[in-house]
A = this chain, B = another copy of it.
């Protein structure tokens, strides 16, 4: 895929996820790294229902807009994208969602949420059986992105499933392709939805 095709494919994904309710009120942000390793991130303050290929801007590794986009103020969260590309160099696409289930789980789980026995756990790259226990870290939401960057660096080893939850905020998931990043994000959302309902059963689950 060339850069324009990449932009169009991600823009289509962004609009589809908006239709699922994952990016209300202009929230969320998305990025990809092109064939020259340039980072393109979604422009801030765009209604994701109408997101277009032309709504991506280039940023440097500090999250500052570059080239023809110089002077544009990207979302503060751009720095999260930049750190993830630095920590996991094979990453090509980073997706973000405000879907409610990870958000709800983060109000009852402190540092992590675990899943066990679900077939769909195999949606995470490297997970080959439902019999494993998969854990995703939950980090406190933070306005201070320099500080949050340090949190990610310190917890790099807990990010092996290519996703984390920000408390009362949402999910970040990434992959070595758009295909893989989507698979990771959809896996997180589905597992969190199941687990929210399971945790809230009046009587405990047994199987």
> Which A residues have a C-beta under 8 Å from some C-beta of B?
16, 20-21, 24-27, 47, 49, 98, 100, 103-104, 106-110, 117-120, 123, 129-131, 141, 143, 166-170, 179, 182-184, 186-187, 189-190, 193-194, 196-198, 200-203, 205-207
- Cβ contact within 8 Å between A49 and B107: no
Q: Decide if B108 touches A131 in the complex (CB within 8 Å).
A: no
Residues of B within 8 A of A106 (CB): 207
Bound complex: CA of A202 vs CA of B204, how far in Å?
A: 12
Alpha-carbon distance A110/B205, docked complex (angstroms): 10
Q: Offer 22 A-B interface pairs, CB within 8 angstroms, sorted by A.
A: A24-B190, A25-B187, A25-B190, A26-B179, A27-B123, A47-B179, A47-B183, A103-B118, A106-B207, A108-B203, A108-B205, A109-B207, A110-B207, A117-B167, A117-B168, A119-B141, A129-B143, A130-B143, A167-B207, A168-B194, A200-B202, A202-B202
